[in-house]
Chains A and B, each alone.
Chain A
Amino acid sequence: MRRNIAADVPEYLMKSILLTRHSVLPGFGMAMGFTMVYLSLIVLIPLAGLFLKTAVLSWEQIWATISSPRVLASYRLTFGASLIGALINAVLGVAVAWVLVRYTFPGKRILDALVDLPFALPTAVAGITLATVYSENGWLGRYLAELGIKVAYTPLGVVVALTFIGLPFVVRTVQPVLDDLDPELEEAAACLGAGRLRTFYHVLLPAMFPAIVTGFALALARAIGEYGSVIFIAGNIPMVSEITPLLIITKLEQYDYPGATALGATMLVVSFVLLLIINALQRWAWLRTGRR
Chain B
Amino acid sequence: MSATITLPSGRRLAAATTEAPLVRGLLIAIVILFLGLFLLVPLAAVFYEALRKGVEVYFASFANADARAAIKLTLIAAAISVPLNLVFGIAAAYAIAKFEFPGKSFLISLIDLPFSVSPVIAGLIYVLMFGLQGWFGPWLQEHDIRIIFAVPGIVLATIFVTFPFVARELIPLMQEQGTEEEEAAVLLGANGWRMLWRVTLPNVKWGLLYGVILCNARAMGEFGAVSVVSGHIRGLTNTIPLQVEILYNEYSFAASFALASLLSLLALVTVVAKALLEWKIRRDQEAALRESTQ
* Contact status B116-A183, CB under 8 Å: no
* Contact status A113-B272, CB under 8 Å: yes
* Contact status B92-A35, CB under 8 Å: yes
Is A23 an interface position by the 8 A CB rule?
A: yes
Cα of A98 to Cα of B23 in the assembled complex, Å:
12
Q: How far is the CB of A274 from chain B (nearest CB, A)?
A: 7
Choose one: A26, A32, A268; the contact of B186 (CB below 8 Å): A26
Choose one: A19, A25, A245; the contact of B224 (CB below 8 Å): A245
Q: How far is the CB of A213 from chain B (nearest CB, A)?
A: 16
Choose one: A31, A120, A183, A272; the contact of B267 (CB below 8 Å): A120
Describe B's contact surface by its main secondary structure. Answer: helix
* Contact status B99-A46, CB under 8 Å: no
Is A214 an interface position by the 8 A CB rule?
A: no
Number of interface residues of A (CB under 8 A): 93
Cα of A260 to Cα of B153 in the assembled complex, Å:
18
* Contact status B94-A121, CB under 8 Å: no
Chain A residues near B135 (CB-CB < 8 A): 49
Q: How far is the CB of B64 from chain A (nearest CB, A)?
A: 18
Is B125 an interface position by the 8 A CB rule?
A: yes
B37, closest chain A residue (CB):
A140
Chain A residues near B20 (CB-CB < 8 A): 196
Is A99 an interface position by the 8 A CB rule?
A: yes
Cα of A158 to Cα of B268 in the assembled complex, Å:
24
Is B236 an interface position by the 8 A CB rule?
A: no
Choose one: A35, A42, A98; the contact of B95 (CB below 8 Å): A35
Cα of A43 to Cα of B40 in the assembled complex, Å:
36
Within 8 A of A (CB), among B103-128: 107, 109-111, 113-114, 116-121, 124-128
A34, closest chain B residue (CB):
B91
* Contact status B45-A249, CB under 8 Å: no
Choose one: A92, A96, A249, A257; the contact of B120 (CB below 8 Å): A249
Q: How far is the CB of A69 from chain B (nearest CB, A)?
A: 21
* Contact status A121-B17, CB under 8 Å: no
Between-chain CB contacts (< 8 Å), 13 pairs: A26-B195, A27-B196, A30-B91, A31-B92, A42-B159, A95-B30, A99-B31, A114-B40, A120-B270, A124-B263, A225-B116, A228-B119, A257-B131
B residues apposed to A, CB below 8 Å:
8, 13, 16-20, 23-24, 27-28, 30-32, 34-35, 37-43, 45-46, 49, 84, 87-88, 91-92, 94-95, 98-102, 107, 109-111, 113-114, 116-121, 124-129, 131, 133-135, 156, 159-160, 163, 179, 182-183, 186-187, 191-192, 195-196, 214, 217, 220-224, 227-228, 240-242, 244-245, 248, 253, 256-257, 260, 263-264, 266-268, 270-272, 274-275
